[in-house]
Chains A and B, each alone.
Chain A
Amino acid sequence: MRDTHSPTRTQFGWLLAAVSATLAPHAIELPYWLVILCAGLIAIRSTLLWRRGKPPRQLLILLVAVAAGIGVRFEFGHFFGKDPGVALLAVLLCLKLLESRTTRDLRAAVLLAYFLQVGLFFYSQTPGIAALALAGALLTTTTLLSLEDAAARPAAQLRTSAVLLAQGLPFMLVLFVLFPRVQGPLWGLPSDAYSGMTGLSDTMTPGSISQLGLSDAIAFRAEFSDTPPPPSQRYWRGPVLTRYDGRSWRPGFSTIAAAPRYAPSGRAYEYRLTLEPHNQPWLLALDFPAANIPKTRYADDFRLLAEQPVRMRTRFDLRSYPATAVGKDENAIVLAEARRLPANFNPRSTRLAQEIAAEAPDSAAILARILERLQGMDLTYTVSPPLLGTHAVDEFLFDTRQGFCEHFASAFVFLMRAAGVPARVVTGYQGGEINPVDGSLVVRQSDAHAWAEVWFTGRGWVRVDPTALSAPARIESGLSAALGDWDALPLLRRPGMDWLREVRHRWEALSNTWNQWVLGYNPDRQRDLLERIGFPQPDWRTLAMLLGTSAAGLMMLLLAWAFALRRRRDPLDAVWARFSRKLARHGAARHPWEGPLDYGKRLAMTFPERAEPLRTISEDYARLRYGAEPADPRSVRLLARSIRRLKLK
């Protein structure tokens, strides 16, 4: 009945503000035509509101809806999943806004707006996005409030809904901490659930790593319990690439076991790795991880693997022994693969390697001579190397002489193999930057790196980083130190941006805390927290009990607030009420219609022996209540005292 009222301009204004605030952050992710469509629809609605026009015909709106649906189908190829879902919701909300005629329509739009605020978190869950979603929720809640309390001023409406959100906040905290957490997904996710995750892939072609070099995104963080290893030992192992087809490097034969194939030795480093999701199983542990790390497995190319691809930010407590000797008894199949080269590629490099092999007495001498030759070639390290043709190694070594780490690693492994020594490419990350604010080591996508491993009889696999020959600063100080000024570096990697880096360090320390405690709050962390506050082995019953108790406690507080304001009533009224109650006990209750003076006269007649004080009290009250001067607290206190002292039989 009430829902069919047509909304006022203020109510519509709030909804327009809420919808704009909710959709604006979505503009980055939505297809551009859809952003334009939504903005247009909102603009039309605003104009109509301004000019008090009528909404367009429903047939027209239906046509736009169908057209937008077809557009979404073309854009995404399907209707299922988060991307088309969010797109459809956005169009639906804007159309609903346009056709709204009644307050009921506004309520429906409000629910859609709430949905889209949750939808924001599909793409990003930074503190900034959280603040935007909160602002959207505040405006949306204000819309609901204005539908009920249309008479209040807009500022008062906003204030009341802010009060409501503030009162909801303690419930949010309690529920967030204590609501039994379930590890999602509940069912198979649509295929686009993990789109947009960046990181290393398991193939390396020229340019694939330099592409990552342009990204400032964080790959993972490591918090060492002790001093971190020196930069030259910070090799974080990713895919190991053995198969070469003349252009791409791919992983070779590898088995997976529950224990590592080496005996860790030397100095140990303990650290907590917080890995950003990259939708791959490898964990990018520091070489070489210790045995018995829970929830992991060991590949025989020394990678540490998770049980499933890492699809959300995950923490691992790890221990590594960089000085361990590995691979002395390497599998013959692996070694055969590590010697194989495709025929008819890079003739000049092949000739060079064969010449070196003919002169050198053993593998160690071959390595030394090849490194010497590479150093003498005057190769340049750059993030934007020229494109290479079929004989990529030849062109890099003898013609262009400019390359990124994948060119150096690829060329070096090619030469070693051509000289008959088993060698392979290892990709991963190298280096990282210590955040001075919280002391954690931050490794970014721009720290992606490719190096090499060479196998010697009796020594096993030995790490060789050919990039270090031409750009030693890359290993010691990172990418920016190794590159010349003319290279296109990410802004914050450029020298001379120290103050900006300082700001960024602080921001990243904050967002690390945010990631660990807010975004990373999962069943494990929930259990840890409860155990720490004194609930050993908490199960759902413990949670339900705690949740019930805290929610009831908060409810009591709210109810106390609801009752409290009553007590803050006028002290003069309270005094008069006490007087009336006192006389009611003596059988002379005040009639509802009786004024203080009439009441006083009647009391004086009922209790003739106390007539004087009774009349004085009534007259004092009447004077204080209805007099020209507002009642001063002193007189009220005096009145209260004379009422207290009044004795009746």
Chain B
Amino acid sequence: MITYLTRRLLLLIPVFVAVSVVIFLILHLIPGDPLDNLLRVGSSPEKRAEMSARYGLDRPLVVQYGIWLGNLLQGDLGTSIASRRPVASLIGQALPHSLLLGALALAFSTLAGVALGVAAAIWRDRWADRLIMGGVLLGSTLPSFWMGLLFILAFSVQLGWFPVSGARGWESLVLPVLTIGLGGTALVARVARVAMIDAAERDFVLLLHAKGMPPGRIRLNHVLRHAMIPVVTILSLRIGWILGGAVTVEYVFARPGLGTTLIKALSQHDYPVVQACLLMLAMAVMLGTLLGDVVQALMDPRVRREAA
């Protein structure tokens, strides 16, 4: 298991380098002088000189990337153009909110999705199955920001149950988690249903029945366990998708977080902040995928062997 983990971590390094190169290049691919993109309009010449030296903007691109990455690894993410604050502190404030929201949404999607998928599989081709799968189709096709707005309209404006926006207390988390979770739940439910049906038809299940094991126990201890393997695979592949949902939904609910910060920075052309946010989100995706792989390896001994 430890070798497996080390291998997976080492595999992340080239991915990280590739992602960081792309994000680094953003600044240089934008039309105009990169220096202008790093500074406010009308900055003093001294400031320009300082920036230029700091990022080595007159030196080759590779050197610039090296300096940028070096700063990055020391926790120096630059200075926000809009607020003139260090980007690291902005990110430090936003990150916990996003992590909490993402983790809750992931947990919610998994639990609700598995429950619905299992229910649909048990009542396969009956009305409960059709109802669930119909709901799942809706959940996966409706734009999440719009669902968020509708939730606000229904539960906050009309019923007054939850706050419209902000991040005060658990009440403010309910609607965002629900909104992000909807798409994730739909995805998980669809995979879980197929996986349950698939697993129940596997040969070993016949032997379990022949052993005289009660059907409920077979379903819970064996079939569900197998069905969870593809569920974890799809979650680990699409974990970024759920995080992407978080970006959108944060903005809808005006929650402080990486998504809101990113979109605000994009509209303000605050490129150091944009870079930092994208980098954080990319890392979250990578670590999430890794987490999924590890869980999968814990669940399925065959995966451990293949990777070893």
A binds B: no
